[in-house]
Amino acid sequence: MHNDDAPNEVRNQPPHLTGRRAPAFQFYPRDWLDFRVARMSWAAQGIYIKILCWMWMDSADQCSLPADDTSLRRALGLSPTTWRKIKAEFFPENG
């Protein structure tokens, strides 16, 4: 169904609610291999890419997450202690 042929209730919804979002996002190897990602543990890198996928699929702006650590860590299957350690790798104090 072309967007112009969609019913108003579908046409007026954001793409993440209608299934009309592109099925993939651009991935830049140079950015992934940057020191800020490379310094993360393998576990943190895996969680980081999973979070990027969630942001792409589930947020209206494709670049945000709920500000709810409990929900995030539970969705990732992490204990509070492990989540704190992984999150510290995303936001190191000394940049």
Tens digits of per-residue pLDDT, 17-75?
Answer: 556 677 788 899 999 999 999 999 999 999 999 999 888 888 777 778 888 999 999 99
How far, in Å, are 72, 77, 78, 81, 82 from residue 28 at the CA level?
25, 27, 27, 31, 28
Q: Tell whether the model's pLDDT for residue 1 goes beyond 50.
A: no
* Residue 33 near residue 43, CB atoms below 8 Å: no
- Token pair 């940049």 is found at 95
